[in-house]
A and B are shown apart, each in its own frame.
Chain A
Amino acid sequence: MAQRRINYRVKIDHPFRILKRILSYVWKINTYKIVIIVILLLASSISQVYAMSLLRDLIDKVLPPLIENPSEIGPLITFTILMGSLFLVSIITSYLYQFILVFVTQDTLKKLRDDMFKKMETLPLNYFDNKTIGEVMSTYTNDTDSLRQMISQSIPQIFASLVTIVTVFILMIMTSWILTLVTVFSVSLMLIAIKIIGSKSSGYFLDNQIVLSKINGYIEEMIEGQRVIKVFNHEDEVKKGFDVLNDRMRESNYKANKYSISLMPIIHNLGYVNFAITAVIGSLLAFNNVGGFTTGAFAAFLLYNRQFTNPIGQVSNQINYIFMALAGAKRIFDLLDQEKEIDDGKVTLVNVIEDEDGNLIEKNEATNQWAWKYIDENNQVKLIKLKGDVRFFNVNFGYSKDKEVLHDISLYAKPGQKLAFVGATGAGKTTITNLINRFYDIEEGIITYDGINIKDIKKDDLRHSLGMVLQDTHLFSGTIKDNIRYGKMDSSDDDVIKAAKLARADQFISLLENGYDTYITGDGGNLSQGQRQLLSIARAALYNPPVLILDEATSSIDTYTESLVQEGMDELMKGRTVFVIAHRLSTIQNSNAIIVLDHGRIIERGDHDDLIAKKGVYYQLYTGAFELE
């Protein structure tokens, strides 16, 4: 036996449910247009079929008197005009519906993309942790595109074909029911062929889309990692990796299309077989003149026969687009069906001012003072002043259920305090900060913010009250200015420059090609790591949050610049609660509390002097006797 090949077919569950869902999606956003299209389509198909059926009259009724009296062409002219106008109706209506269809198709694709994007923005971070960037990107391009052909061509064509089929069918029955039976028999053969081949190829189409997304992911990752590849002369290995995917792509592509493309000739020629059988039986009927079956009727029936099987052939020609679309739609709906980040919080953040008596009054304009607003059991609006008091009570957490990474963490940061985390990579420093802004939700324990459980705070508002400067600065395509004001799009240019100065970024920015208006592409490729971090600090400064999280915010800035930035940072941190993760212990010495983490547990805590006196892990780290591992 030949060596068994790996079967990549992926079954599409509930294909009809997916199909129904796409159709109802299209219907929902284009209802009126679709109604108009259907009317136009009906008009177009019916006039077309009717015009064709006139040919029978031409042969049976117009031609014989004309042969008798060739000069009497009046009826022929009337007939021709009638046929011509029917054709004209068919042409005009068909253009109109195709015109509208362009809008239906593009609006649907746009809406799908927008919906996906909106959904994506609400997804919890662990969705992104498990996928490569390019794989997700593929849903917006390759998968969405796979629907285009189906919406713009397949569905209307199938519909038009159905109309034709039904109309012709009626005409056929009226002409000869015996021959109609023959045709019905052949058509059921065709349907069986469609079913068999369809079930064979549809799975490969899904695999095709999956592999395509994998290739997308691979290309994205490798182009972004080009620097490492070049430095290590690793081009050949990367090419090999690509070849593996590319081969698989070809394989599943070939298999998917092989079956579906065979469908068209099969259906088409089954049509001829049907034609032949019909002809034999028909001519017998005509010869024996069964039930007044005339030669004209016979000829007409044969025409109907073609008209009947032709649209089926056309539908079968669309079948691979439908399978492709189903595969794409499945992946789109998978994204759309993802669970959103949980956000049941009712407590919101509002601007307030404080009157002489210390009462808080809510304001609509920016006041630089905030309060948490909630409605208590007695339906009274309550305001709690935002101070920046963050506490952890016995928090346990794991990214996946079976692997806990934080164990029994309790800590507090009073308003205005600076809290530093020290520990090896993987000790859980960043994880703790990710819990405060609810990038991830805890299962056990409680985290409070100004005494409120953070789960009760509306997520957006919680994050509005927290500024984050991450180790890897992400810059967006746009000007430097836009990137700094990312957290607060309505801030003035002066504020932007002020923030940049505070972060000591002003100097290098003014040396750029267009200063603050320099356009950044490709994640700010030509800016150094340190420069990017300065921008990130400026961004946070402008955001002006009561609580700041600095995760290795200055790790790539040289010590000299850092000492300059430090002044600005100190200014920035004044009066704010700050969580700092830093490798250079010099930057955290002045913290109110330093928390030393090891494998998700707090092993030491206290201020710098306490910990030095304790002569524990921190002391060893500080004296350089010990390395963070």
Chain B
Amino acid sequence: MWKLYFKHSKGYRAQALLTPVFVAIEALIEAILPLFMADVIDRASGLEPSSIISGFMNNVVNYFEWLFPQTPNVYVYCYGVIMLILALLALMGGVVSGILATNASSGFAKSVRKDLYYHIQDYSFENIDRFSTSSLITRLTTDITNCQQSFQMTTRISFRAPLIFIFSLIMAFLANSRLAWVFVIASPILVILLIIIITKANPYFKKMFKKYDHLNLIVQENITGIRTVKSYVNEDLENKKFEHASSEVASNSKMAEKIIALNSPVMMFIIYASVTIVAFVGSLMIARDGYGEGSTLYLFITYAIQILSALMMVSMVFMMLVMAKASTDRIIEALNEVPTIQNCSSPLYEIKDGSVEFKDVSFSYLHDDDKLALKNISFKVESGMVVGIFGSTGSGKTTLMNLIPRLYDVNQGEVLVGGVNVKDYDIKSLRDQVSMVLQKNVLFSGTIKDNLRWGNKDATDEELIAACKLAQADEFISRFNDGYDTYIEQGGTNVSGGQKQRICIARALLKKPKILILDDSTSAVDTKTDALIRKAFKEEIPSTTKFIITQRISSVEDADIILFMVDGKIANIGTHEQLLKENEVYKKIYLAQTKGGK
């Protein structure tokens, strides 16, 4: 836990360390101010002041009397002025330390948030699934906010309070060592009780945050699926689900906070017990041993109050820390999560060519050999080939292609690109060479150019146009009023499905990949254009290996090789003609598709 705080206070460490210095100034002054008060009271009563500052103050008063010889009661002004100066100094110390602490804590939060977010970018899908999106969001916002507040407190109050506590204690000892032992006994008892409270409450806080994630998930699902909820008139069900989740959060918070509520009574008990004992014993001492006067007692009560408020602050910080502890653990857990897909120790950055080979590959999303999504897949394609992948819904076409850019890792066997296992490549270099046009195409709000440049941010206009020509997109883009500067609305709602798909293909082409994967990405493009795209691919990027996942046999008819997939296995492999001859199902589908018009 402390390691995290230490690491991320980097850059703000000077501030974080200066904070206690200014806090110390404030606390020190706060501790000695009552001495001045006691002196004033003593002098007002006509007694000789006897505290540790009295000697110093005598000199000051003498000096003032020498300066203003005719003024009565010079000492009062002396004390007044000095106390004023001290109070202003303390004020400065307080403000400066506050600002430093805020700066350090907000900087700390920023740094943790950044680190965690960056780390999450390296997560594989498996990692993300393990946490769930909603939980990652809570960790990045709520949990970090909790830690930030505790950081702010720890750098400030948790220094301030013990300092005041220690100073006050020392002062109390200097004033009267026989009374001060009360505080010495009381304090460790208090600390032990607080620790017990923390350890009891912590597990509930942990549980509470888990429920919190769940609540967040339900909200997320409901917003994403609001149309489904509404069209099935299921608001009541969702309300019930949510209420269940929110009461689980509430009941766990209650459990935790009920324990925390013990905090302040425990504190009060210790303090008030001390005050009462001081009042009793102090009175006796004054009476029997002639210790000072009312002022001694006053001084002690003041210290007791000061110690009380210091400990009150400690208890507040403690409460924050208990919650922050649970939050910190959650952040650390996410930070320590090892991405399941990582670079090997000495990765290769060069990819020789676009040849792809699967050697006895099996894969399961669940790491379960009984639930394989792909079973013993082996095939080999040369660089530049056009590979058709055909199969029914859920037969594993997309899963198969996900293995090439290492979106997932195989369970068994190996995937080779350019003759080398994909695991031996630098992930970035690999993905740069493998372009994938996804089933769910996403365009972002911005101009067509902006969107295309996702593929290659340094692409020149000529390169953009060339890629669009290949994807048969140049024609319709140049027909737009603003051409390549046409603004695409969020989600690409102002272009048609077919246009969107072609822009996405152009975007993928701009990466100049060695391997291009089109996952059902020409489904909304008419057959003629589809054929033109394929022709352009063949002629213009002959060395790029092209994988085409499709439900339309006509799209892969002229492929060099077709993988026909059934239930996660390759049922048949070969050219269109071979498959027609060898596979009955394939033939049936082909006939059905050609007969039905399109």
Contact = CB atoms under 8 A, between A and B. Distances in A.
Interface in A158-183: none
B592 A257 contact: no
Contact of B242 (A117, A228, A277): A117
Interface stretch (A31-39, A237-245, A569-577): A237-245
A287 B141 contact: no
A219 B526 contact: no
Interface in A190-230: 212, 215-216, 219-220, 223-230
Interface string B137-179: 1101110010010001000100000000000000000000000
A103 B285 CA distance: 46
A121 interface: yes
Interface residues of B, number: 175
A234 B454 contact: yes
A296 interface: yes
Contacts of B142: 141-142, 145
B137 A220 contact: yes
Given A220-B137, A242-B114, A526-B365, A70 B288 contact: yes
B184 interface: no
A283 B276 contact: no
B220 A220 contact: yes
23 contacts: A58-B279, A59-B298, A76-B280, A95-B264, A109-B250, A114-B242, A137-B220, A141-B138, A227-B125, A243-B114, A253-B109, A261-B101, A272-B90, A295-B294, A310-B305, A310-B309, A425-B493, A426-B493, A468-B228, A513-B368, A539-B232, A586-B597, A627-B528
A103 B254 CA distance: 7
B107 A250 contact: yes
Contacts, number: 472
Interface in A243-275: 243, 246-247, 249-250, 253-254, 257-258, 261-262, 264-266, 268-270, 272-273, 275
A521 interface: yes
B132 A254 contact: no
B526 A626 contact: yes
A415 to B, nearest CB: 20
A553 interface: no
A283 B43 contact: yes
A235 interface: yes
Nearest to B212: A141
Contact of B226 (A99, A125, A622, A628): A125
B128 interface: yes
Given A231-B438, A474-B225, A295 B219 contact: no
Contacts of B40: 279, 283
B149 to A, nearest CB: 9
Given A138-B141, A558-B393, A629 B496 contact: yes
B263 to A, nearest CB: 8
A232 B504 CA distance: 11
Interface in B259-281: 261-262, 264-265, 268-269, 272-273, 275-276, 279-280
B454 to A, nearest CB: 5
Contact of A87 (B98, B276, B302): B276
A73 B83 contact: no
Interface stretch (A3-11, A379-387, A529-537): A529-537
A233 B250 contact: no
A373 B155 CA distance: 68
Contact of A303 (B141, B279, B280, B301): B301
Interface string B88-125: 10110111011101110111011001100110111101
Contact of A486 (B232, B309, B392): B232
A526 B129 CA distance: 10
B314 interface: no
A606 interface: no
B496 A425 contact: yes
B90 A269 contact: yes
A558 B391 contact: yes
A367 interface: no
B245 to A, nearest CB: 9
B120 A223 contact: yes
B118 A239 contact: yes
B338 to A, nearest CB: 17
Contacts of B238: 117, 121
B1 interface: no
B297 A463 contact: no
B485 interface: no
Interface in B292-322: 294-295, 297-298, 301-302, 305, 309
Given A113-B242, A628-B524, 16 more contacts: A58-B297, A106-B254, A120-B223, A121-B239, A223-B136, A269-B90, A269-B91, A280-B80, A284-B73, A299-B41, A425-B493, A474-B228, A522-B129, A539-B232, A556-B439, A559-B593
A102 B254 contact: yes
Contacts of A627: 496, 498, 525-526, 528-529
Top 8 nearest A-B pairs (CB, nearest first) are A265-B94, A530-B393, A474-B225, A269-B91, A272-B87, A87-B272, A276-B83, A95-B265
A395 interface: no
B440 to A, nearest CB: 7
A219 B88 contact: no
A487 interface: yes
B598 interface: yes
Interface of B (DSSP majority class): helix
A117 to B, nearest CB: 4
Nearest to A274: B87
Interface stretch (A13-21, A128-136, A355-363, A442-450): A128-136
Given A133-B220, A137-B137, A555-B523, A270 B44 contact: no
A246 B110 CA distance: 6
A613 to B, nearest CB: 16
B102 A586 contact: no
Contacts of B138: 141
A409 interface: no
B257 A254 contact: no
A477 B529 contact: no
Interface in A134-150: 134, 136-138, 140-142, 145
Contacts of A102: 254, 257-258, 261
Interface stretch (B187-195, B348-356, B428-436, B538-546): B428-436
Contact of B407 (A230, A264, A276): A230
Interface string A303-315: 1001100100000
B185 interface: no
Nearest to A133: B223
* Of listed A118, A219, A474, A589, residue having the most chain B CB within 10 A: A219
A624 B597 CA distance: 10
B436 to A, nearest CB: 4
Given A58-B279, A242-B117, A525-B125, A296 B294 contact: yes
Interface string B348-390: 0000000000000000011010010100000000000000000
Interface in A498-546: 508, 511-513, 521-523, 525-531, 534, 539, 543
A95 B262 contact: yes
B228 A261 contact: no
Contact of A223 (B128, B231, B232): B128
Interface string A52-90: 000100111011001100100100110110011001101
A491 interface: no
A268 B94 contact: yes
B83 A272 contact: yes
A88 B272 CA distance: 8
